[in-house]
Amino acid sequence: MMDDLERKEWTRRVLACLNHEKCRCTYGALARILGLANQGVGRHLGDPRPETSWVVLKATGQPGGDWAPDRLAEGLCDGPEPISCHEELKRLVTEHESDLMAHDADTMNDPHVMHLEYCIVCDPKRIDWSAAEAVVFEDDDFTVEVKDQRVLFRFKTHYSSEEEAKSSVEPYRRNWEFTAGLAYGPDAFTLRFSRSEIIDRDPTPGNTKTPKFFFSLVGDLTLNLDIIFVPARYSGPPASGTMKRTPDIDSMYHRYLGYRAGREPFQQWRISVWTC
């Protein structure tokens, strides 16, 4: 199930893609991505405006309701037929963002990753982080800011690509999820990559660039529990150098999560721990 933050992020990404590519999608396709009823998409998009007019009715190829001509995007009906399949729409968004990333990386003289942003994905039927206070953690390579169910890694070290930056935070992220899973159980705290900000530290004179934001897909979690816990503080990462993950530890941990989620009997889980 997609929460409000993820829904807003996906809406922003889809609209950016549709406006750039000058193509339309149906209410139904966007509804499937956002986890809304078709009738709820119009209300979610808000007042009629050109950037949202690319979301249309399948039958007419036009946005539903009363739209004044000045509220419609220029060339709205000049392109191909509206995309009605949500998987096809997802692919278009991903390809669009990949093309932007490749183009901007190629045109930068000295790209530098300013930060990576992750969203906290959890089972809202079990835990709710929305009331947790903002907190900041320091590491040798980055500062970690946690606020509004978003985690921002601000880099102290230079990384020229998103992949390099993500590799540097990966052990930190995995250990953080590990300790949070032990404390709160399965599906309580998962960091899913959301976007990066990359700047050019040596731009070509006269070619002023704004920071580039590159987005990635955010998945959903299946929900099935009933008790909701509302922590006052975010789960903190383990202190640097205090945890060393091994295959045996990972095996015990994943079986423990299976037991907590009701997928593995206690006796079977206990035997697996003793035999590791």
The pLDDT tens digits for 18-54 are 999 999 999 999 999 999 999 999 999 999 999 999 9
Q: CA-CA distance, 257 to 42, in Å (whole number)? A: 39
pLDDT at 226 over 50: no
Q: CA-CA distance, 19 to 17, in Å (whole number)? A: 6
Where do the structural domains in the chain lie, given as residue ranges? 4-101, 110-243, 246-276
pLDDT for 157-179, tens place per residue? 999 988 899 999 999 998 899 88
Can you list the alpha helix ranges (DSSP code H) found in the chain? 4-21, 27-34, 38-45, 86-107, 162-184, 247-260, 266-275
Burial 212-234 (b: 16+ CB within 10 A, else e): bbbbbebeebeeebeeeeebeeb
Q: Tell me the pLDDT band of 220, cut-offs 50, 70 and 90.
A: very low
Q: Which residues contact 54 (CB under 8 A, 6 or more apart)?
A: 15, 18, 19, 23, 24, 25, 73, 76
Asked if residue 253 lies in contact with residue 179, where contact means CB atoms within 8 angstroms, the answer is: no
Q: What is the pLDDT at residue 242? A: 64
Q: What is the pLDDT at residue 99? A: 73
pLDDT for 135-158, tens place per residue? 999 999 999 999 988 999 999 999
Q: What is the pLDDT at residue 182? A: 82
Q: Tell me the pLDDT band of 218, cut-offs 50, 70 and 90.
A: very low
Helices and strands (DSSP H and E) totals, the chain: 7, 8
Structure tokens at 159: 């990384």
pLDDT at 194 over 90: no
Q: Which residues contact 259 (CB under 8 A, 6 or more apart)?
A: 265, 266, 269
R_g of the chain computed on alpha carbons: 22
Interhelix angle 4-21/27-34, nearest 10 degrees = 150
Q: What is the pLDDT at residue 11? A: 94
